[in-house]
Amino acid sequence: MLDLMPSLGSWRPAVSGQRCAVATIVGTGGSVPRPMGTSMMVSENGEILGSLSGGCVEGAVVEAAMEAMRDGGPRLESFGYSSEDAFAVGLTCGGELEVHIQPLQAGLPELPVFGQDPTALEDQAPVPLALIRRLDAVGGVVVVNDPVRFRAMESPELARLVGDHPATLFAAAAQVEPLLQGGRAGLVRLAPPEGCIDGWVTLDRWENPREEPEPQPITLFVESRLPAARMLVFGANDFGAALLPAGQLLGYDVTLCDARPAFARQDRFAGADQVVTDWPHRYLAGEAAAGRIDGRTVVCVLTHDPKFDLPLLETALGLKLAYVGAMGSRRSHRQRVDGLLEKGIPAESLERLHSPIGLDLGAVTPAEVAVAITAEIVASRGSRPGSAAFRSLKDSSGPIHPAPTEDPESQEDPWT
């Protein structure tokens, strides 16, 4: 639902106060076009904001949203590919979607974006924000303004949402906090406390209550938005210049850092989100101490100079970072490892170092190397090591740049 917030201030149905329903992807399976948390708004007049699948299920979602506004109740709809009827409502890509549909007046009255002045959202800069929505019959929402520092056990709003039983709050904290702090979306199901049946009914797909009241799981949907993850590029050279736009293309907030003012101040680095002139290890340590480094941060060491590389890598490997890579030949890598071991860096910490940096794509030019580096970052971010065809350079052997000859092994690689 957070994806719709920047557009709500200019969406006419929201501005005019029409009744609306929000449809949110809360579960996925197989190949799907959009991730969990993607939402679509439907007004009482059938106007639409956003998209869930690029068109293959939107018609059915609109119809279900209209029904939800008429009866005032939430519902959960499932969409998948129908092999019996290729034209049936479904996902031709073969995936499955679970879509929760909620009339706003019934379930989200506390959201500030649905206040009396939705135009206040116009031109508003993105800020960290998260929503914890209760999707079962009880309903309700908690708005979290600082997802990274949110503590579930200390939140009276969450206690009101799920009940103040300590076991329930503890279970909520264990599942909700990682989603909030990771900037992710996810479904959380909590078992109700034993003996807690007052006001609870088991629902059949949430629209057909059974006659006998029984405990039902507490179902929460968490959406979290954090500032862009940071990419710190150390080294004002051709490779750094090529990596800046590549990192920004992946959505990173990119900082270029170099200790040499004459190099860092070149116009070709002006496109970075920040340009810093400082000793690399000192800058990284300062950013970590200030709380501006987190587990999503990427560090790319392109300086290729031991007096910069060794103290910087010593600092980086002592932090919880998403990725640490260093450029250099295999000879440079061996010397670098020896130097770090002499400084007391544990061998297991060195396993986190991507050196030589990048996937083994045969990259030569700065632009190609930038592709190899960002490809490795994406692969490591998704916990998918390189395939047999495209492996990390650190996991392969032999020349980094085979000589242009029919028999690459017959010539020595000057980079080894």
pLDDT at 260 over 80: yes
How many Cβ atoms from other residues are within 10 Å of residue 216's Cβ?
20
Q: What is the mean pLDDT of the segment spanning 272-277?
A: 97
The token pair at 164 is 């103040």
**Residue 404: what pLDDT?**
47
How big, in percent rounded to 5, are the helix, strand and coil portions of the chain? 35, 20, 45
3-state secondary structure of 244: helix
Please give the distance of CA 409 from its chain centroid, rounded to a whole number.
42
What angle (nearest 5°) sits at the alpha carbon of residue 84, between those of residues 80 and 89?
40
Query: Quick one: which H or E segment has residue 223?
Result: strand 218-225
Residues in the chain, how many?
416
356 pLDDT band (50/70/90 cuts)?
A: very high
Model pLDDT for residues 297-340, shown as the tens digit of each residue: 999 999 988 999 999 999 999 999 999 999 998 899 999 999 99
Q: What is the mean pLDDT of the segment spanning 102-112?
A: 56
Paired residues of 234 in beta bridges: 257, 301
- Residues with Cβ within 8 Å of residue 9, at least 6 apart in sequence: 15, 118, 119, 120, 121, 122, 124
Separation between Cα atoms, residue 359 and residue 13, nearest integer Å: 48
pLDDT at 117 over 70: no
**Residue 386: what pLDDT?**
47
Q: What is the mean pLDDT of the segment spanning 229-257?
A: 97
Choice between 150 and 96, residue whose per-residue pLDDT is larger:
150
9 pLDDT band (50/70/90 cuts)?
A: confident
Name which of 146, 114, 118 is nearest 130 in CA terms: 146
Cα–Cα distances (Å) from 235 to 240, 257, 335, in that order, read 6, 6, 19
The token pair at 366 is 């700065």
Model pLDDT for residues 151-197, shown as the tens digit of each residue: 999 999 999 999 888 888 999 999 999 899 888 889 898 987 665 54
**Residue 56: what pLDDT?**
66
- Residues with Cβ within 8 Å of residue 300, at least 6 apart in sequence: 231, 232, 233, 234, 235, 243, 323, 325, 327, 357, 373
How many Cβ atoms from other residues are within 10 Å of residue 361's Cβ?
18
- Of these ranges, 5-9, 37-41, 269-273, the one predicted with the greatest mean pLDDT is 269-273
Chain mean pLDDT for the chain: 80
Choice between 213 and 48, residue whose per-residue pLDDT is larger:
48
Q: What is the mean pLDDT of the segment spanning 213-224?
A: 81
Separation between Cα atoms, residue 134 and residue 223, nearest integer Å: 12
Q: Are 236 and 230 in contact (CB under 8 A)?
A: no
Cα–Cα distances (Å) from 67 to 15, 192, 348, in that order, read 22, 29, 57
316-355 burial, b for 16+ CB within 10 Å, e for fewer? bbebebbbbbbbbbbebbeebbebbeeeebeeebbeebbb
What angle (nearest 5°) sits at the alpha carbon of residue 38, between those of residues 33 and 44?
115
Which domains are seen in the chain, by residue range? 1-124 (no CATH), 125-193+214-227 (no CATH), 230-401 (3.40.50.720)
pLDDT at 271 over 80: yes
Separation between Cα atoms, residue 387 and residue 189, nearest integer Å: 35
How many Cβ atoms from other residues are within 10 Å of residue 290's Cβ?
8
Can you spell out the DSSP letters for 322-338?
SEEEE---HHHHHHHHH
Separation between Cα atoms, residue 379 and residue 387, nearest integer Å: 10
Model pLDDT for residues 118-159, shown as the tens digit of each residue: 444 444 445 568 999 898 877 788 889 888 889 999 999 999
pLDDT at 201 over 50: no
Name which of 152, 179, 182 is nearest 167 in CA terms: 152
Q: Where are the beta strands (DSSP E) in 37-87?
A: 39-43, 48-50, 75-80
Radius of gyration, CA atoms only, the chain: 26
